[in-house]
Amino acid sequence: MHLKFDLKINNEFRKLPSNLDDKIGKFLLFAVVDVYNELMNLFRGKKSGKIYKVPAGKARKVKGEFEGGRVYRASAPGEAPAIRTGVYRASWRALSDKINGVWTGILGSTQKYGVCLEYGTSKMRPRPHLKVAFENKKEKIISLAKTMLKVDIRE
* Beta carbons of 69 and 58 less than 8 angstroms apart: yes
- Residues 68-80 have pLDDT tens digits of 667 789 999 999 9
C-alpha closest to that of 42 among 79, 5, 95, 78: 79
Name the band, by pLDDT with cuts 50, 70 and 90, for residue 120.
very high
Q: What is the pLDDT of residue 18?
A: 64
Q: What is the pLDDT of residue 6?
A: 67
pLDDT higher at 18 or 124 = 124
* Beta carbons of 108 and 118 less than 8 angstroms apart: no
Q: What is the pLDDT of residue 104?
A: 87
- Residues 32-67 have pLDDT tens digits of 999 999 999 999 999 999 988 777 666 667 766 666
Q: What distance in Å separates the CA atoms of residue 120 and residue 99, rounded to the nearest whole number?
A: 31
Name the band, by pLDDT with cuts 50, 70 and 90, for residue 100.
confident
Q: Please report, to the nearest 10 degrees, the dihedral formed by the alpha carbons of residues 133, 147, 23, 95 taken in order.
A: -10
Q: What distance in Å separates the CA atoms of residue 40 and residue 132, rounded to the nearest whole number?
A: 12
Element (H, E) at 42: helix 18-44
Name the band, by pLDDT with cuts 50, 70 and 90, for residue 1.
very low
Across the range 114-131, mean pLDDT stands at 95
Q: What distance in Å separates the CA atoms of residue 136 and residue 116, rounded to the nearest whole number?
A: 21
Q: In the chain, what are the domain boundaries?
A: 4-45+80-149, 46-79
Q: What is the pLDDT of residue 99?
A: 83
- Residues 126-140 have pLDDT tens digits of 999 999 999 999 999
pLDDT higher at 72 or 88 = 88
Task: Give the 3-state secondary structure percentages of the chain, helix then strand then coil, rounded to 5.
Answer: 35, 20, 40
Across the range 3-7, mean pLDDT stands at 66
Q: What is the pLDDT of residue 5?
A: 64
